[in-house]
Amino acid sequence: MKILLTGPPGIGKTTVIQRTLKGIDLKAGGFFTQEMRREGRRIGFVLKTLEGEEGVLAHVDYKGKYRVGRYGVDLSLFEAMALPVLERALQEKEIIVIDEIGKMELLSQRFREVVIQILDQGQRHLLGVIHQKREPFADSIKKREDVEVTVVNYQNRDELPSQIIMRLKRQRG
């Protein structure tokens, strides 16, 4: 099962994934991105792996080569942390978490290749977030027959974790 969540920022996509993982007994590997805030304003994003590593993925004060909006993106940190975790998950885990397939992450060609590898394999489940805006690579993923894209909104976000858990349990037998 390959489920990608989409929806506006702050709607609860990451929370849906976290609640799903708490309610299912599957070995998971992958990463989350989490907002960094100061005085109520978003100033960056932290990358957190399910193995416990974390680092600043993007920050308003970062003056690196790669930029998305007002954020400088540390692409080398992303590739050094996220890619090995995803590659290990592909070999060792039952469910792979990618939060998210978004503009910052898609700066990495290697990330795109790993995402395709994950989608093309048949054994592992995928639970992730994909950004809503149009982008050729993301659009091609959303169109795949083996990928289910679910829009998270205020009406469904509380029920989605239990629905996904039930489907995962049913597939396990």
Cβ(74)–Cβ(58) under 8 Å? yes
pLDDT number for residue 104: 96
Q: Is cis: bond before 100, omega within 30 of 0?
A: yes
What are the pLDDT digits (tens) for 32-77?
A: 999 999 999 999 999 999 999 999 999 999 998 999 999 999 999 9
Average pLDDT over residues 98-119: 98
Sheet order of strands, 125-130 included: 66-68, 71-73, 54-59, 41-49, 28-38, 95-101, 125-130, 2-6, 148-151
Q: Would you state the pLDDT for residue 122?
A: 80
At 103, list the tokens.
């503009």
Decide if pLDDT at 103 tops 80: yes
Reported in sequence order, the residue ranges of the chain that DSSP labels E, i.e. its strands, are 2-6, 28-38, 41-49, 54-59, 66-68, 71-73, 95-101, 125-130, 148-151
Binned at pLDDT 50, 70 and 90, residue 160 comes out as very high
Task: Output the pLDDT for position 64.
Answer: 86
Q: Which domains are seen in the chain, by residue range? A: 2-33+85-172 (3.40.50.300)
Is pLDDT at 120 greater than 70 in this prediction? yes
Burial of residue 18 (CB within 10 Å: 0-12, 13-18, 19+) is: middle
pLDDT tens per residue, range 124-134: 999 999 999 99
Distance CA 49, CA 51 (A): 5
Pick from 82, 143, 144, 127: nearest CA to 107: 82
pLDDT value for 150: 98
- pLDDT for res 123: 87
pLDDT score of 173 more than 80: no
Structure pTM? Answer: 0.95
> Does the structure show a pLDDT above 90 at 171?
no
For 136-156, what is each residue's pLDDT tens digit? 999 999 999 999 999 999 999
Parallel/antiparallel/unpaired status of strands 28-38 and 41-49 = antiparallel
